[in-house]
Amino acid sequence: MPVRVSFLLLPAFAVLLLLLALPLLILLASSVDSSRQPGPLAFDFTLRHYGEVFYDSYYLEMLARTVKLSAIVTALCLVVGYVLAVALWIAGPRQRVYLMLIVVAPLLVSVVARTYGWMLILGERGLINTSLLSLGLIETPLRMLFTDGAIVLGLVHLLTAFAVLSIHASLEKIDWEIVEAAVVAGAGPLRIFAAILLPLSLPGLAVGATLVFSLAMSAYITPALMGGNLSAMATLIYQKFMVSFDWNGGAVLAVVLLLAALIGVLFIVMVAMAFGRPRTPREGAA
Amino acid sequence: MSRGLFAWVSTLLQVWLLLPLAAIVYASVATDAVPVFPPTGITLHWYAAAYDVGSFRRGLEISLIVACLSTVLAMPVGLTAALALARWQSPWRAPIETALMAPIFVPGLVIGIALMMAVAASGLDIGFGRLILGHTLMIFPYIARTTYASLAVQDASLEEAARTMGAGEFRIVWSVQLPLARPGIVAGTIFAFIMSFDDVPVALFLADARTTTLPLAVLSYLEYNFDPAVAAVSAAQVIFTFFAAVLLERLFGLKRLWGAGNG
Amino acid sequence: MAELVLDCITKRYGGTAVVDALSLSLPSGKLLTLLGPSGCGKSTTLRIIAGLTPADSGRVHLGGRDVTALKARARNVGMVFQSLALFPHMSAADNIAFPLRVEGVSGRDRDRRVGKALDLVRMGGFARRYPDQLSGGQRQRVALARAIISNPGVLLLDEPFSALDRRLRDEMQEELRSLVGRLGITTVFVTHDQEEAIRLSDLVAVMRAGRIEQLAGPRVVYNAPRTPFVADFMGSVNFVEAEIANLAGDQVTVRLGQSAFAVPRPTDLDGAPDLGVLINVRPERVTLADTPPAAGPALAGTVTNRVFDGAFVTYTVRLSERPERSWIIRRLSSEGPATASDAVWLTWPADATQVMVSHANRSSNSR
Ligand SMILES: Nc1ncnc2c1ncn2[C@@H]1O[C@H](COP(=O)(O)OP(=O)(O)O)[C@@H](O)[C@H]1O
Ligand SMILES: [Mg+2]
């Protein structure tokens, strides 16, 4: 039986190995291989490409900027996601279906359509500006697109769904009677949130934060379209590969970005564990 | 925060989530070339205009072909993986499940770059195949996940009953398990198709001049134009996706598709 | 003084009245059990008292105050939930301290009261354990301590012991009884287990379909059930139709086949002579005989089964007049075989007869 079962796993593992694991290895190797990419690997270790890329502090600044934007996006997604996850949790069955559709809607349309929608609203000749102008509230159009705020807005809009779904998965495990027990004990909404819901949904918050953070770090189309010249690390990687055809440099930046995302994820997990239930219980009464 | 305030905030956030999608639909039916509020009039002219853009028509064709082919390829991969997971009682099942879901959580940027470099390193010229392979990798976990979820809730005694009636392994799978898992399979397939059809991040690295999908065509159109023809294309997509999403929710439940929290 | 008063409470879910014009009044310091089959509205009633579910109509009074409009958090009730609902991320002590924290009771005072509560439920050594490190019985105690820590006006318990094994359940019942007695807390306890209700309560309210069928002390409910439903729920099996021959003062004369006999008149029985009633006799009060008795109640029947289980012999007897009814009779096995043949007479002391108005004659219980 197990023999046959592993036989069934063969296609999936072949796909994962050939199309994901091996390519990732090649990406990693290209960043430390002396060969010029694209081309066959020379299997000769060098850190030269890293030196070339980080000779200039520009990319490090860009990395710092990307980390900062991703952190802001993550924080906002968690706040927005928490509100919507709670709404989803307390909604009746009918309402929940609509809410779920609304939450995942941004994930279901292509990034181009979604960003175009924001352009229609925020652009120099977008709905907000034309309305404000015609009402005489402003004289020159507000600059909303091509700002850091626009990048954050676009990413939060896209990635909130991941936070909502993760947090909701945690909330769903909380027995409603626990909330009622707190209510009967006299607790108000804020205390219920802080003392009951927040600690119990910490795993969901952590999962949501890691997903949102790593996806925000590697998002490149939304920043490119909504940020204009202001951009993010991932956008630079795209340019390295597809515009300046510097594949070695691109591979270096991609590896650095992946490492930074990994460090961020580890950081989130550590924070979550520090706030989680202490291993040695706190001193109680008695 | 009182219940009333909470309800208000939550409603505002929902409006905000739908705002760009609503703007697209609005711009696609407003007469004005530069959308204003209120609109000068209502028209379907922009849909006709979008149809007249050659690159959109060609892009649609390519997107459909790519989505169909990669879904057809992803189907056997996802189904076999789901069957394996459903039948395997072993401590290895959880880690394998996680590994199978990896393409969902690895960013499109990374999938795109890695695959592009790998194909280049292999020295093979697979042209069109590059994008199809990328999408197959990207979407098969959705089919595996929905099918597995449907199989996992099936009564194990059904399988045993079939076995006692002398049914062979293949027959059990084909005429007992898979038909019962149909809602999951259909949901996974629809979703996989949408994910391929909508994809930009992976396609930007793997497509070439001959495989410019519809979203890519729209993207390059936007570089030089900003007229509501784009709104019409996008609105058509939003509307199509909306109905697909309703169907998915009915069939399977949207939140199980991502299953964040256990993935 | 009545600590808890429910005045004509009604709650509907989708058109069905789950609680139907229910009224009751519970004196201070007493323990009332809501007893009834699953789905009869016990939990809903309890939640309405706590304020977790709003009633559609009717008033709730706690400690002489109308609290109908008050939110649950302001009612100062203690509640033990069916799932216990302990906070899984807090230690036993923190769980118990939670209501005090909410009240704003400060550090030292709080620790002292939590310590006292822990001792009260004999959990002194487990303060720092988390719920998942406690046994079922210990979790019960923590939930109980949390419910009483802030001196609530009423204590509400929703089938708290239903998940425990028999021995532990007996122990917890004993402990709850003594704790509530010592502290003098007015308590409402929900259960579907009649034995539990009888052991624990000062008062038992037998519920059926959202109404109270009988509200009385446990002895009365057991020995003088007011309706066939209550009798049935209290484990009665020996029913037979009879008629009222005469109502005079506090006596009623019951006619059963050839025999007629006087019994004390149930408080709520009034009506015309010839009223159809249902009578019930406890299995241990019936005797078997070969010949009909000279006077008093009697029924002819046929023994269809005998089961010897140590101390007792249990007979099943089919009634000759009403073959669709069988009675169960339990006799001490040391008394020897009760009868020679299968054709027997059933007799019992007239005062062991429970008289109830049968369904057909109760307007308030028309189904
Ligand atoms: N929130 C609710 N919505 C709809 N029906 C409910 C709700 N709560 C309880 N009910 C129904 O009310 C009836 C009584 O429930 P409950 O009070 O829990 O009964 P009990 O505790 O006696 O078993 C049941 O039929 C139950 O299905
Ligand atoms: Mg109940």
- Which uninterrupted H or E stretch holds C97? helix C92-103
User: Does the structure show a pLDDT above 70 at A137?
Assistant: yes
Whether B69 and B2 map to the same domain: the answer is no
Are A284 and C91 in contact (CB < 8 Å)?
A: yes
Note whether B35 and B120 are same-domain residues.
Answer: no
In a domain, A117, yes or no: yes
- Nearest alpha carbon to residue A129 among C89, B35, B145: B35
Answer yes or no: is pLDDT of A77 > 50.
yes
Cβ–ligand 1 contact at C43 (below 6 Å): yes
C53 CA: nearest ligand 1 atom: 1
- Is the C-beta atom of C39 inside 6 A of ligand 1? yes
Most ligand 1 atoms within 8 A of CB, residue of C9, C16, C43, C82 to mutate: C43
C-alpha C38 to ligand 1 mean position (Å): 9
Of residues B82 and C337, more confidently modeled = B82
User: Cβ atoms within 10 A of the Cβ of B61, count?
Assistant: 12
On whether any CB of chain A is under 8 Å from the CB of C78, the answer is yes
Residues of chain A in contact with residue B230, where contact means CB-CB under 8 angstroms, are: 116
Our answer on whether B and A touch (3+ beta-carbon pairs < 8 Å) is: yes
- Clarify whether residues B35 and B123 are in a common domain: no
Asked if residue A135 is part of any domain, the answer here is: yes
CA of C115: which chain A residue's CA is closest?
Answer: A286
Residue with token string 């509307």: B239
For a ligand 1 pocket test, name from C10, C18, C20, C40 the mutation site with the most ligand atoms within 8 angstroms of its C-beta.
Answer: C18
Residue A161 lies in a domain: yes
Q: Which of C103, C143, C110 is nearest to A284 (CA)?
A: C110
Under 8 Å CB pairs connecting chains A and B tally to 270
Can you tell me which residue has the tokens 């199809």? B132
CB contact under 8 A, C85 and A178: yes
Q: How confident is the model at residue A39 (pLDDT cuts 50, 70, 90)?
A: confident
Q: Is the CB of C13 under 6 A from ligand 1?
A: yes
Flag whether A131 is in a domain.
yes
Residue B68 lies in a domain: yes
The domain containing residue A120 runs over which residues?
Answer: 49-277
- pLDDT tens-digit profile of B177-214? 788 888 889 989 998 999 999 999 999 999 988 889 99
Q: Both B19 and B119 in a single domain?
A: no
- Tell me how far apart the alpha carbons of residues C145 and B176 are, in angstroms, rounded to a whole number: 53
Q: For an interface test with A, give the residue of B178, B254, B256, B262 to mutate (most A CBs within 10 A).
A: B254
d(Cα A279, Cα A46) in Å, to the nearest integer? 44
Residue C360: pLDDT above 70? no
In a domain, B211, yes or no: yes
CA distance from start to end of chain B: 32
The residue type found at C127 is: A
**Any bridge partners for residue C303, and if so which?**
C317
Record: contact A281-C81, CB cut-off 8 A: no
In sequence order, what are the residues at sequence separation of 6 or more whose Cβ sits closer than 8 angstroms to the Cβ of residue B22? A117
- Look at residues A207, A208, A179 and name the one whose alpha carbon lies nearest to residue A103: A208
All partners of chain A with 3 or more CB pairs under 8 angstroms: B, C
Q: What is the mean pLDDT of residues B95-101?
A: 88
Ligand 2: distance of its center to the CA of C33 in Å?
13
pLDDT computed for residue C273 by the predictor: 62
Is residue A23 domain-resident? Answer: no
Instruction: List C262's β-bridge partners, or say none.
Output: C253
Q: What does the mean pLDDT of chain C come to?
A: 89
Considering the domain architecture, whether residues B231 and B165 belong to the same structural domain is answered as: yes
Q: Which two tokens stand for residue C158?
A: 């929703």
**Full-model pTM:** 0.87
B12 and B98, same domain (yes or no): no
Structurally, chain B folds into a number of domains equal to 2
Tell me the C-alpha to C-alpha distance, in Å, between residue C166 and each of B243, C162, C213: 55, 9, 28
Residue A4 counted as domain residue: no
β-strand partners of A83: none
- Are residues B27 and B61 both part of a single domain? no
Ligand 2 ion local residues (Cβ < 5 A):
C 43
Same domain? For B103 and B147 the reply is: yes
Pairwise CA distance, residues C158 & C36, whole Å: 12
A283/C150 Cβ within 8 A:
no
In the chain, the amino acid numbered C362 is R
DSSP, collapsed to helix, strand or coil, labels residue C266 as coil
The interface pTM score, or ipTM, of the predicted complex is 0.90
Q: Do residues B5 and B75 both lie within one domain?
A: no
Is residue B129 classed exposed, middle or buried when 0-12, 13-18 and 19+ CB atoms within 10 A define those classes? Answer: middle
Q: Is residue A8 part of a domain?
A: no
Tokens linked to B98: 């996680």
- What band does C363 get if pLDDT is binned at 50, 70 and 90? very low
* Shared-domain flag, residues B7 and B109: no
The Cα–Cα gap between C17 and B199 comes to 54
Subunit contact B200:A221, Cβ cutoff 8 A: yes
Tell me the CA distances in angstroms from C271 to A8, C239, C246, C265, C268, one per residue in order. Answer: 79, 21, 10, 12, 10
User: Do C and B have ≥3 inter-chain CB pairs under 8 A?
Assistant: no
Q: How far is CA A273 from the centre of its chain?
A: 20
Tell me how far apart the alpha carbons of residues C62 and C75 are, in angstroms, rounded to a whole number.
Answer: 8
Cis peptide bond N-terminal to C273, omega within 30: no
- Identify whether the C-beta of residue B228 lies closer than 8 Å to the C-beta of residue B46: yes
| Count helices and strands in chain B by DSSP H and E runs | 15, 0
Q: Is B174 found in the same domain as B81?
A: yes
Domain assignment present for residue A286? The answer is no
Q: Closest partner residue to B237 among A6, A30, A110, by Cβ?
A: A110
For the Cβ of C44 lying below 6 angstroms from any atom of ligand 1, the answer is yes
- pLDDT of B83 over the 60 cut: yes
Q: What percentage of chain A carries pLDDT values higher than 70?
A: 95
Q: Is residue B49 situated within a structural domain?
A: no
| Domain presence at residue B180 | yes
In whole angstroms, give the CA distance from residue C278 to residue C354.
Answer: 8
In a domain, B48, yes or no: no
- For residue C5, give the nearest of C74, C58, C52 by alpha carbon: C58
**Which strand (E) or helix (H) includes residue B170?**
helix B169-172
**In a shared domain, residues B240 and B131:** yes
At C362, the pLDDT band (50, 70, 90 cuts) reads very low
- Distance between CA atoms of A129 and A144, rounded to whole angstroms? 9
CA dist., res. C23 & res. C55, Å (int): 13
For residue B14, the enclosing domain spans 1-43
Share in percent of chain C as helix, strand, coil (round to 5): 30, 35, 35
pLDDT tens digit sequence for A209-253? 999 999 999 999 999 989 877 788 999 999 999 999 999 999 999
CB of C15 closer than 6 angstroms to any ligand 1 atom: no
**CATH number of the domain residue A72 falls in:** 1.10.3720.10
Instruction: Please state the domain count of chain A.
Output: 1
Nearest residue on chain A to B234, alpha-carbon basis: A113
- Euclidean distance between CA atoms C212 and A20, whole angstroms: 68
Partner B contacted by A81 (CB < 8 A): no
Q: Alpha-carbon distance A199 to C94, whole Å?
A: 14
Q: Which of A171, A173, A184 to mutate to test the interface with C (most CBs of C within 10 A)?
A: A184
Tell me which of A248-252, B171-175, C182-186, C348-352 is least confident: B171-175
